[in-house]
């Protein structure tokens, strides 16, 4: 199991477009991936679940991956988030 804690820096948070990019990236991996923010946990491969977390700018959350490609998965999701989803 691989875990990482991250913070959203992009101005709009995890709204529709970034959430779709996040889910698309997560869905490319075989590992089971969850996102936890506070007392809420969501399946990283479900756009509705991710958007229901309501993560805005400055939100801190944990990504957990468990599976054969967990390390690559967490690294790819971290890179996506740290790039602000390509929003400059």
Q: Where are the domains of the chain?
A: 2-86
15 is catalytic: yes
DSSP letter string, 51-80: HHT---TT-EEEEEEESTTHHHHHHHHHHH
pLDDT in tens, the chain (88 residues): 999 999 999 888 888 999 999 999 999 999 999 999 999 999 999 999 999 999 999 999 999 999 999 999 999 999 999 999 987 6
Catalytic choice (15, 21, 36, 72): 15
pTM for this prediction: 0.94
Pick the CATH number of 2-86 from 3.40.50.720, 3.30.360.10, 3.30.1340.10, 2.60.120.560: 3.30.1340.10
Which of 52, 20, 21 is closest to 36 using CA atoms?
52
């Amino acid at each position: 199991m691989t875990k990482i804690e991250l913070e959203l820096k992009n101005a709009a948070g995890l709204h529709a477009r970034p959430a779709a990019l996040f889910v698309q990236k997560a869905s490319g991996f075989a590992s089971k991936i969850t996102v936890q923010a506070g007392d809420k946990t969501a399946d990283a491969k479900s756009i509705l679940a991710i958007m229901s977390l309501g993560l805005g700018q400055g939100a801190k959350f944990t990504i957990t991956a468990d599976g054969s490609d967990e390390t690559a998965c967490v690294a790819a999701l971290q890179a996506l988030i740290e790039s602000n989803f390509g929003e400059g």
